[in-house]
Structure 1
Amino acid sequence: MEQTPGNTRGLTLVFTGNGKGKTTAALGMALRAWGQGMKVLVLQFIKGGWKYGELKAAEKLGPNFVMRQMGEGFIKGAGDDGLEAHRAAAQNALQEAKKAVVEGAADMIILDEINYAVHYGLVDLAEVLDIIRSKPPGVHLVLTGRNVAEEVANLADLVTEMKEIKHPFAAGIPAQKGIEF
């Protein structure tokens, strides 16, 4: 069905679970939106430091596909020595997300790994819920990451859980270029 002003509705979508593919699914959707002439903004809450393949691709897509790494890299656990640095980075990303969503800065806004940031207490769940509720009607909002809060899932229009069946890391195979980064 072709979108017309009368039937356009921005959706809230969640990709969660312990399986691989959450960010990949969101980026596939982003590429589809970009191909339809929509502006896309991706804010990465955890990823930082590494030059992931998707960053290189986003640079080539031009000004209507913006991806910003705002994190400090992956968190090792609740006892991670750098948890305060992670928290400060996530808070900064949250402020950027609030502003982008309220202003309708893009047709699709992806908050990559935000569920993980909530789970580790880097950002407050109530603030994330406020962002979802403040979304303008024409904006698609995508949230990724493991351990989605039930309250987030309840507000979403679509929730997909990625379930790990088998992963090469369990067999001692390291992360592969083009697959994990």
Structure 2
Amino acid sequence: MNDETKPAIDSERHAAKMAKKKAARDKIMATKTDEKGLIIVHTGKGKGKSTAAFGMIFRHIAHGRKCAVVQFIKGGMETGERNLIKERFADICSFYTMGEGFTWETQNRERDIAMAQAAWEKAKELIRDETNTMVLLDEINIAIRYDYLDVNEVVEFLKTEKPYMTHVVLTGRNAAEELIEVADLVTEMELVKHPFRSGIKAQIGVEY
């Protein structure tokens, strides 16, 4: 075999290998025919939980599908996602910032609980509205972790009252096991390296 024929043989082997993979993949995909509204949890210590969730919201917007966002904790600072949605896509995506910032900033547990409860009532209203095909509950896991909300109540609502075709996304660290159990899709963001540890502050366009 000379050097000229080797690339051709390698190309043929690659094509045959990919054809075999495609046939196996097509066979698997042919069995995936069901559709349902998913309960999606983004958790973990790594960056990107809300970012990934907003990516799904923007996909819904791009497809012309009505959706909604409720922010349970973040409220002390403006974010690019909030500004963009409110300024340009308010007709298709409802946006509610119900929190006043992280608990160490507010330093008022009773007020935090009241705000979280109000956010949960708004979230239930939006989820019950079947015209919303996705509802993002941003940082709800934090509200549950600090006992601002009863995880059993949240789980029971998702199991019994969420419309069948509505997607609900729940973000925040330390997702409760009860939520993970009821979810259809769970992603844990793993922290490998973060610039904050090197003294670099949160930056516009990256963190918010």
Aligned positions of 1:70-109 closer than 5 A:
70-76=98-104, 81-109=107-135
Alignment-derived partner of residue 125 in structure 1: 151
* Structure 1 Cα separation of the partners of residues 196 and 136 of structure 2: 27
1:110 to 136, 146, 163: 136
Aligned positions of 1:1-181 closer than 5 A:
7-59=34-86, 60-76=88-104, 81-133=107-159, 134-181=161-208
* Structure 2 Cα separation of the partners of residues 17 and 153 of structure 1: 12
Query: Could you tell me which amino acid in structure 2 is paired with residue 65 of structure 1?
Result: C
* Structure 1 Cα separation of the partners of residues 120 and 146 of structure 2: 14
* Structure 2 Cα separation of the partners of residues 70 and 104 of structure 1: 22
Which has the larger Rg?
2
Aligned to 1:76, what secondary structure does the other structure show? helix
TM-score by length of 2: 0.79
Shift of 1:161: 0.2
Instruction: List, as ranges, runs of 4+ consecutive aligned residues in structure 1 with deviation greater than 4 Å.
Output: none
* Structure 2 Cα separation of the partners of residues 105 and 47 of structure 1: 26
Shift of 1:20: 0.6
**Greater RCO, 1 or 2 (C-alpha within 8 Å, sep 6+):** 1
Aligned length: 174
Query: Could you tell me which amino acid in structure 2 is paired with residue 68 of structure 1?
Result: Y
1:97-120 CA-partner distances (Å, limit 9, x unpaired): 112212325110011101111001
